[in-house]
Structure 1
């Protein structure tokens, strides 16, 4: 209706375009200029695609606006200009992408000295990214002709908008052949090595963070692209470089020379991205090809590069960077755990999930799991630092750091639930993707992985004393929780205990874990059995109770929600089907009606004394219609009339009224037999009524009608 009756305000652009001296600023002042541009207004597009207009639009998004304008209106024209240049109109894309003058003007923004204006940088990145997507060949050809393009981009890497432009250059180039050429060009420009060089203590924090995030995004996008695009067997040169040549450079920047927590965190984030593995999920086994295996497994060179440097992370856990005390809601934290040590724990958890025997062996030699779990280290090997004698374990020391508790829980879960091959692959099944191919023989590799996993499980239960630590920590919490509060790690400790119990019941190393628990000291073995049967079971019951309200049957709001509203009887789940109800339902009710006998009898008598039942009349009769009341000739005596006192009867006799004889009886039959003609049914209430107990109907024309000529009023 809004458009049908032409209720919208007419655009002023047509009037402005009719002017010969109209300026771009006047058009940008109109609120509907962007809508008219997207609506393919020919006169407006003709004006905007003029070289002078396009140059002015590019100038607005690449140069600082005047400072004398109001702050909220200062970037108005720059924002509108960027929207016009990126509104995906073909004629604007063609003019801007094919004119080298416009591209040079736009490119000149990178030649400014840092730091760049973040808002203008976002306008520049959006405009150039649109040209890369829409005019790919022309834009890529222009960029490759420019000397030092990658250098300029890395120079301004402290601005996040330039990181977005670089990622768009890698991911938004089509077709595949042209994309392969771009990736080869970027690899020849040493993009990966130069990004890795930015992650060093001498760089500022923003530059390091953006460089790290760019490397992580390149790794993820390249692996996703390799798993999706199967039409070409060409490898991604950037992915190959980052997997083979990045690890050593990262460790050199992180741990050699001056150490920086920011550098360690950003470098570890790249390592974690390299260790990410994609699971095949629901895909069938026979659908996997050789080209997909490399995207689902961790490259062996990455693990070989990380293994010699695990000692640096071990030292980092013992000697973290100095941090100031922190005020928390629970008080002052004298020694914060720190982001660097948290990322070290994340790296250990990721390495445990790779199923690499040499990595597992190195972690056991460094006693890394013991460092995360045990409360104190009573005995040490000569290869360990003496400072470990006074080191308190991280999990229990930082009581309220749930980020740390999550990582330790994942480490234990990775050890207990790790799947190990029981035998080598057959000829009929493809070889499974593995993280570590140390030997050419598949059977030897599988056997090595099995032995490595068993050694890791033994290390967890024997040297780390996992079961003993769970029991001791639980008892200490029960003692301190009586007058205080529950410790922050108890939820994660419960999950770890449940993981151990489940591994005993069913798991890849069920027999081994059962034997290790049976080998516990008699005291701890009995305490563990009692803990599992009583304490842990009671805790699980408490945790299973659904507190207050649970939205366990909320439907999704879809387009056809009105037609599918509610639940069908066979789809609606009862409360008892979902959770364990803790309230007893009432199954019956006992009522004693002995004392209510007289009341029930009185109610029954009153119910029978009806004047007229509603269903006696015709169905079409209106029960609320006013009608004459008809009484039967024979009526029964009412107890209320017989209760008249003798004084009342004497007073009636003294005034000359006709007395009510003792033989008079008021009788009301239970059911009145009305005739079809209701007008002819009436009682004769003349003097004869008082003379005899039975009333007779007259035979005259007034038959059935009552007469009151001889009626004498009562003198009560």
Structure 2
């Protein structure tokens, strides 16, 4: 209708542009200028691509605003100019990308002295990035002609927007051959070596962080590209340069041969961690270790990197002992002197990555330095640093679960009764030199003693539990199971007894407490009020009620919340039968009410209206009001007309019969509150909760065509909800009548 009758109003910009002396600032002051530009308003686009307008737009995003401008509008025009230039309008892109004078004016922003205005730098980077994506050939050709481009990019690498621009050149240039040409050009300009030189103590922290992040992203992007384009004949020159041994040695020399600098050390370790990352190919939906015979570079760590790192392991070990000086840190539980610090935490992460490579020469160097012992000392000393705890847990889990490195020779036991045990030097070092078992037992006992005296549980106990479970698991099923069992058997008798008692007692109890099912048959602790409410419910508190409640929540609340609950249907049906039997005489000869047979309904039940969606119900008001007066919830008032002919069925039995067939047809209708009324009454009656007390009424939420309708017009005090359900081969209508005056709910079949 809006567009058919041309009801939209013409933008004021069209009127404004008819003026001969209109200025760019007047146009940018209009609220809908960006919307009209993106909609490619012809008059507006023609105005913006005028030579002077384009010059002004570029000037706004490259020139510092005047200091005398009001602060709240100081960057208004630069921001709008950036949005106009990046609105992806073809005419604007063509004019900006093909006019070298405009490009030179834009490029001039890089030639400013450091530091660059970060906001203007973001505008500049966004505009140039759009041009790289839309006009790659022209922009690459223009930049290659600028001999100082790479120098300027490295000079301003401390500005995050410039780092983003560098990465954009590696990801957004197509086709593939043009991208390869850009990589070769950047490699010839030694961009990797220049970024490496930025990560040293003489540079500031911003340059450390951004240069490190740039190198990490180059590694990941290059490996992903190489993995996806496996048929590419040319390797990635930037990645090849980064993985060279001399490049890694230069990185390590920057942080170890000069003064210690926390920011530089952490940045270099971050680059090493990225180099150690290996892609795990997916098999059968899981990420597994690279299978034998797979030699893709993405699946293994380059040996040149390990060769460069190995001689520096002693320097990393010394960092654990003597990290860069840190001030004493006050915490809520005490003083940290010294705190763990980012440096030592990064070194522990590096050790975990080195262990993952499972290289014999690296493992032996760590053993000779006793690096694992120092890391365990830190674990037990810094009881509240979970960042440290998780890394130590990773280290121990890998040592226990990894098979011995290929260079490690298997050793055969001399005892003929035992199976051959392949030697794992790391596990032997962990259990013997580091006294792994004894330290776990001592820490556990010390924690229990402190808790017994009123102290707090130590922060590493959860990780210590998983470490102990890892030992038990790998001793039974791991590749080093025989070796672990042998080392445990070589413990002193006292330690062996302590370990056996610990695993079968305290550890087993802890695991049992930590294992919780969302829905189970165990008793869930409830308040005293809850226990009073349900103590006479007639079925077991620890199973049936929970299953009934779970099924009710699933059927009623699942469409609203989307939370799935698993209910034991068999247990639920058993609960229903148990409930029925309470109302049956043991020696009764009555027919089984659950047997399928023809059912004849009382006249009142037959007259119960079906859901028709009509709001005109005056003609049925009288009969329905008569039904309301007879309350079937009271046995003395129950009429034989409300029962099945030929038998005296208690109210709950009849209600229970309906329950069995109602759950199959009522659920998953979540549009109106009244759709749940029937289920609610059934559930409350099953739990022996009276339903005539404060029944909720929400007339506003019920539309005119809902199954629940008001009787007697708009002023009626009665609401009826009907459902048609199946009982065997028969269909019946079940109604729920709510009387607002008496606040009672009448449920009938």
Normalization by structure 1: what TM-score? 0.71
1:498, distance to aligned residue in structure 2 (A): 0.8
2:291 & 2:92 partners in 1: Cα distance?
Answer: 45
- In the TM superposition, what whole-angstrom CA distance separates every residue of 1:238-270 from its partner, at most 9, and x where no partner exists? 000001132101111101121111111111111
Task: Name which of 484, 487, 503 aligns with 1:513.
Answer: 484
2:54 & 2:293 partners in 1: Cα distance?
Answer: 50
Structure 1 match to 2:311: 308
1:206, distance to aligned residue in structure 2 (A): 0.7
Structure 2 match to 1:527: 498
Q: How does 1:356-371 map to 2 (within 5 A)?
A: 356-371=359-374
Evaluate the alpha carbon distance shift between residue 451 and residue 146 of structure 1 in structure 2; reply closer, same or farther with a 3 A threshold.
farther
Evaluate the alpha carbon distance shift between residue 616 and residue 242 of structure 1 in structure 2; reply closer, same or farther with a 3 A threshold.
closer
Evaluate the alpha carbon distance shift between residue 567 and residue 405 of structure 1 in structure 2; reply closer, same or farther with a 3 A threshold.
closer
Evaluate the alpha carbon distance shift between residue 535 and residue 11 of structure 1 in structure 2; reply closer, same or farther with a 3 A threshold.
same
Task: Name which of 335, 340, 345 aligns with 1:342.
Answer: 345
Structure 2 match to 1:259: 260
2:423 & 2:83 partners in 1: Cα distance?
Answer: 58
2:623 & 2:298 partners in 1: Cα distance?
Answer: 85
Structure 2 match to 1:201: 201
1:6, distance to aligned residue in structure 2 (A): 5.7
Task: Name which of 459, 469, 477 aligns with 2:439.
Answer: 469
Evaluate the alpha carbon distance shift between residue 3 and residue 324 of structure 1 in structure 2; reply closer, same or farther with a 3 A threshold.
farther
- In the TM superposition, what whole-angstrom CA distance separates every residue of 1:263-308 from its partner, at most 9, and x where no partner exists? 1111111111111111012279999999971012111100111000
1:170, distance to aligned residue in structure 2 (A): 1.3
Evaluate the alpha carbon distance shift between residue 75 and residue 292 of structure 1 in structure 2; reply closer, same or farther with a 3 A threshold.
farther
Q: Assess if the C-alpha contact under 8 Å between 2:273 and 2:353 holds in 1.
A: yes
1:533 & 1:52 partners in 2: Cα distance?
Answer: 84
2:101 & 2:604 partners in 1: Cα distance?
Answer: 102
Q: How many residues are paired up?
A: 545
Structure 2 match to 1:235: 235
1:43, distance to aligned residue in structure 2 (A): 1.7
1:204 & 1:62 partners in 2: Cα distance?
Answer: 25
Give RMSD over aligned pairs. 3.6
The answer to whether the aligner puts 1:192 opposite 2:196 as a matched pair is no
Evaluate the alpha carbon distance shift between residue 19 and residue 566 of structure 1 in structure 2; reply closer, same or farther with a 3 A threshold.
closer
1:22, distance to aligned residue in structure 2 (A): 1.4
Structure 2 match to 1:604: none
Evaluate the alpha carbon distance shift between residue 575 and residue 222 of structure 1 in structure 2; reply closer, same or farther with a 3 A threshold.
farther
- In the TM superposition, what whole-angstrom CA distance separates every residue of 1:39-72 from its partner, at most 9, and x where no partner exists? 1212211111222211111100001112222222
Structure 2 match to 1:399: 383
- Structure 2 gaps, min length 5: 412-419, 519-523, 526-555, 584-601, 609-619, 627-749
Q: Assess if the C-alpha contact under 8 Å between 1:230 and 1:291 holds in 2.
A: no
Evaluate the alpha carbon distance shift between residue 77 and residue 452 of structure 1 in structure 2; reply closer, same or farther with a 3 A threshold.
farther
Residue 157 of structure 2 aligns to a residue in which SS?
Answer: coil
Structure 2 match to 1:320: 323
1:510, distance to aligned residue in structure 2 (A): 1.3
Structure 2 match to 1:250: 251
The answer to whether the aligner puts 1:276 opposite 2:269 as a matched pair is no
- In the TM superposition, what whole-angstrom CA distance separates every residue of 1:283-335 from its partner, at most 9, and x where no partner exists? 79999999971012111100111000000011111111111111222233232
2:379 & 2:109 partners in 1: Cα distance?
Answer: 51
1:347 & 1:287 partners in 2: Cα distance?
Answer: 21
Q: Assess if the C-alpha contact under 8 Å between 2:163 and 2:214 holds in 1.
A: yes
Evaluate the alpha carbon distance shift between residue 531 and residue 99 of structure 1 in structure 2; reply closer, same or farther with a 3 A threshold.
same
- Structure 1 gaps, min length 5: 374-392, 422-442, 550-561, 578-584, 594-613, 627-716
2:470 & 2:476 partners in 1: Cα distance?
Answer: 10
Task: Name which of 336, 339, 344 aligns with 1:333.
Answer: 336
1:110 & 1:62 partners in 2: Cα distance?
Answer: 9
Q: How does 1:123-142 map to 2 (within 5 A)?
A: 123-142=123-142
1:18, distance to aligned residue in structure 2 (A): 1.2
Evaluate the alpha carbon distance shift between residue 444 and residue 216 of structure 1 in structure 2; reply closer, same or farther with a 3 A threshold.
closer
1:619, distance to aligned residue in structure 2 (A): 8.1
2:310 & 2:606 partners in 1: Cα distance?
Answer: 100
1:346 & 1:511 partners in 2: Cα distance?
Answer: 29
Q: Assess if the C-alpha contact under 8 Å between 1:193 and 1:246 holds in 2.
A: yes
2:215 & 2:314 partners in 1: Cα distance?
Answer: 24
Residue 335 of structure 2 aligns to a residue in which SS?
Answer: strand
- In the TM superposition, what whole-angstrom CA distance separates every residue of 1:517-558 from its partner, at most 9, and x where no partner exists? 111111111111111111011111112236999xxxxxxxxx
1:528 & 1:286 partners in 2: Cα distance?
Answer: 32
1:140, distance to aligned residue in structure 2 (A): 0.4
Of structures 1 and 2, the larger Rg is shown by 1
- In the TM superposition, what whole-angstrom CA distance separates every residue of 1:563-604 from its partner, at most 9, and x where no partner exists? x947999x8512899xxxxxxx999799999xxxxxxxxxxx
2:77 & 2:605 partners in 1: Cα distance?
Answer: 86
1:185 & 1:618 partners in 2: Cα distance?
Answer: 88
Q: Assess if the C-alpha contact under 8 Å between 1:115 and 1:159 holds in 2.
A: yes
2:183 & 2:8 partners in 1: Cα distance?
Answer: 50
Normalization by structure 2: what TM-score? 0.68
Evaluate the alpha carbon distance shift between residue 289 and residue 162 of structure 1 in structure 2; reply closer, same or farther with a 3 A threshold.
farther
Q: How does 1:254-653 map to 2 (within 5 A)?
A: 254-282=255-283, 293-373=296-376, 393-419=377-403, 454-482=424-452, 483-545=454-516, 565=559, 573-574=566-567
- In the TM superposition, what whole-angstrom CA distance separates every residue of 1:351-404 from its partner, at most 9, and x where no partner exists? 00011111111111111111112xxxxxxxxxxxxxxxxxxx111111111111
1:33 & 1:52 partners in 2: Cα distance?
Answer: 18
- In the TM superposition, what whole-angstrom CA distance separates every residue of 1:118-159 from its partner, at most 9, and x where no partner exists? 000000000011111110010000000001111111111111
Evaluate the alpha carbon distance shift between residue 616 and residue 309 of structure 1 in structure 2; reply closer, same or farther with a 3 A threshold.
closer
Q: Assess if the C-alpha contact under 8 Å between 2:34 and 2:84 holds in 1.
A: yes
The answer to whether the aligner puts 1:88 opposite 2:88 as a matched pair is yes
Q: Assess if the C-alpha contact under 8 Å between 1:361 and 1:452 holds in 2.
A: no
1:447, distance to aligned residue in structure 2 (A): 6.9
Q: How does 1:103-118 map to 2 (within 5 A)?
A: 103-118=103-118
Structure 2 match to 1:158: 158
Residue 243 of structure 2 aligns to a residue in which SS?
Answer: helix
Residue 174 of structure 2 aligns to a residue in which SS?
Answer: coil
The answer to whether the aligner puts 1:183 opposite 2:159 as a matched pair is no
